Amino acid sequence: MESLTCQRLTDGARRAQMRPAMADLRTSDFDFELPESAIAKRPPENRHGGRLLVLDRKSGAISHRKIVDLPELLGNELIVVNDSKVIPARFYARRQTGGRVEVLLIEKIEQQWTCMLKASKRPKEQELLHIIKGANPDATEAADLHLGALRICAHLGGGRALVEFTEEIPLEEIGQPPLPPYIDRATDKDDWNRYQTVYAANDGSVAAPTAGLHLSEEVLAGLGAKGCELAKVTLHVGPGTFVPVRSERVNDHKMEEERYVVSAATAERIAAAGRENRRILAVGTTSVRTLESSKGMAGQGRSELFISPGYSFQVVEALLTNFHLPRSTLLMLVSAFAGRERVLAAYREAVAEGYRFYSYGDAMLIR
């Protein structure tokens, strides 16, 4: 089997893929009106129960369908999904002084973790934080503090730190699925299943690749019966997916690195699809970034690829994606694929038609 090679897009390569003609795009060019009522706080009753807006990327024509219609809408595409698994990365701890600290684990590096800390006052280096059992951040009983502790090894800036557990603790015993901040409710038992794709296999994400949440076993079976083939890549979604674009100019924004892997088997399927003139459909923006970062070749590395309008797609030819936040890098990626004006027009129609937005919301098929 072909060995995996490490690939990284350098800053120079990233800048080379930015287009001078698009230098005047502003973050405000990706704004749209969204009522609070349109934000989905819970998933549909059935995994494949969502609505599907179909957008023709050439003509701009829009039709309204359902997720269960996907097998009818597709043919023999190679469907590429992200099989990264969301880890129960969010939990709470207490300082010796009694202050509460929210912890969001990001990445394990040997025996330590990078993480984000949220507290009224920053913990000191070498300080011990005692882990609170369960999802109750207000627990104060001594019995709730028996699951061990975290030691702050170093502060990394920007609210991030390097920490280590004082003893081996399964994350399932202390953590919760890290729902996005706009789902302003406590995590419940349904989220353990529904904030995870049915094909999730490789631990490492702190946010779900949400377009894949719609794909039930029934829908996947229907796609297979139509001649579609499924291929898997892995991109571990980091907290950068929620970081707003703070720069006024779009091209001044820098993406956070995220780890990805493309197996030799998937790379061969991509190559075969090209030879057979089969369309490659990416499920979600994370699959897009993996395919475009790797150019469809076997490898592993860290991607900081920022895709915005004017980008020339090398691999992806169709896209299944959720509806994203205003001014977000995810909306910019979708706009790069289908055109900013067409995408924003589709979003306006989705709002008017009562579609549900964001992680637990409805989806778009762009082809």
List pLDDT tens digits, range 309-359: 999 999 999 999 999 999 999 999 999 999 999 999 999 999 999 999 999
Compute, in degrees rounded to 10, the torsion defined by CA atoms 296, 200, 240, 264.
-20
Q: Specify if 182 maps to a domain.
A: no
Q: Which of 121, 142, 174 is the last residue before a domain boundary?
A: 174
Count the domains in the chain: 2
Q: For residue 64, what are the β-bridge partners?
A: 53
Of the segments 94-98, 145-149, 347-351, which one has the largest average pLDDT value? Answer: 347-351
Q: Residue 240 has what pLDDT? A: 83
- Does 227 share its domain with 82? yes
- Does 306 share its domain with 286? yes
- Token code pair at residue 152: 């702050």
Average pLDDT rounded to a whole number, residues 13-42: 77
Q: Residue 132 has what pLDDT? A: 87
List pLDDT tens digits, range 73-84: 999 999 999 999
Q: Helices 285-294 and 329-338 meet at what angle, rounded to 10?
A: 70
Q: What are phi and psi of 271, to 5 degrees?
A: -60, -40
Structural domain of residue 139, as residue ranges?
90-174
List pLDDT tens digits, range 217-235: 999 999 999 999 999 999 9
Q: Specify if 1 maps to a domain.
A: no
Q: Specify if 122 maps to a domain.
A: yes
Q: Which of 174, 207, 233 is the last residue before a domain boundary?
A: 174
Q: Which of 174, 197, 232 is the last residue before a domain boundary?
A: 174
Residue scoring higher pLDDT (136 or 365): 365
Contact 237, 209 (CB under 8 A): yes
Structural Rg of the chain based on CA atoms: 21
- Token code pair at residue 190: 């349904």
Helices (H), the chain: 11-16, 70-73, 171-174, 189-194, 217-225, 264-275, 285-294, 329-338, 340-352
Average pLDDT rounded to a whole number, residues 17-33: 75
Q: Residue 12 has what pLDDT? A: 39
Average pLDDT rounded to a whole number, residues 162-166: 96
Stated pTM of the model: 0.91
Query: What CATH number is attached to the domain comprising 94?
Result: 2.40.10
Name the pLDDT band for 241 (thresholds 50, 70, 90).
confident
Q: Helices 329-338 and 340-352 meet at what angle, rounded to 10?
A: 110
Q: What are phi and psi of 235, to 5 degrees?
A: -135, 120
